[in-house]
Amino acid sequence: MIKLVAPSIEYKDEYVSFFKEWKSSGEDITPWVVEKDPSNFDEMIDFLYSEDTGDKLTNEGFVPHSTFWLIVKHSKIVIGAVNIRHRLNVRLLNCGGHIGYGIRPAERRKGYASILLALTLRITKKWA
């Protein structure tokens, strides 16, 4: 069983493994929020929730956004991540869009990106 979850300390070890695997691959990391170093995990979690509404934004170039992690339910392995922009600015309208997502290198080509996107669209439909 695979599901999307809100970032939480509950997934710390699995998320750090996800991050390290991606960093060691040398590939570009997508979505951009995964680039945040999880060494101080509590601080990283706070960051992920710090701009999820317009009244919390501190950077004028940003829009409200929410992040979720794709996990294997029974093992809590983090397979991927998605960052949903609640609205678009000019930059995102031209490059980026509402949804940025990625799958860890070892789990690609297994259909997880399609599952991640389908689950993400369910969330965005609830928000509409």
Average of per-residue pLDDT across 88-109: 90
Mean local confidence (pLDDT), 8-28: 96
pLDDT in tens, 41-87: 999 999 999 888 888 877 778 888 999 999 998 899 999 999 999 88
Mean pLDDT, the chain, whole residue set = 92
pLDDT reported for residue 51: 86
Residue 91 pLDDT: 84
Please give the pLDDT value at position 2: 96
Q: Which residues contact 90 (CB under 8 A, 6 or more apart)?
A: none
What crossing angle do the helices spanning 12-25 and 41-49 adopt, rounded to 10°?
90
Domains delineated in the chain: 2-127 (3.40.630.30)
DSSP conformation letters of the chain: -EEEE---GGGHHHHHHHHHHHHHHTPPPSSGGGGS-TTSHHHHHHHHHTTSSGGG---TT---EEEEEEEETTTTEEEEEEEEESS--HHHHHTT-SEEEEE-GGGTTSSHHHHHHHHHHHHHHHH-
CA 34 from chain centre, in angstroms, equals 6
Dist CA 78 CA 65 (whole Å):
20
pLDDT of residue 111: 96
Query: Rounded to whole angstroms, how far apart are CA atoms 50 and 58?
Result: 9
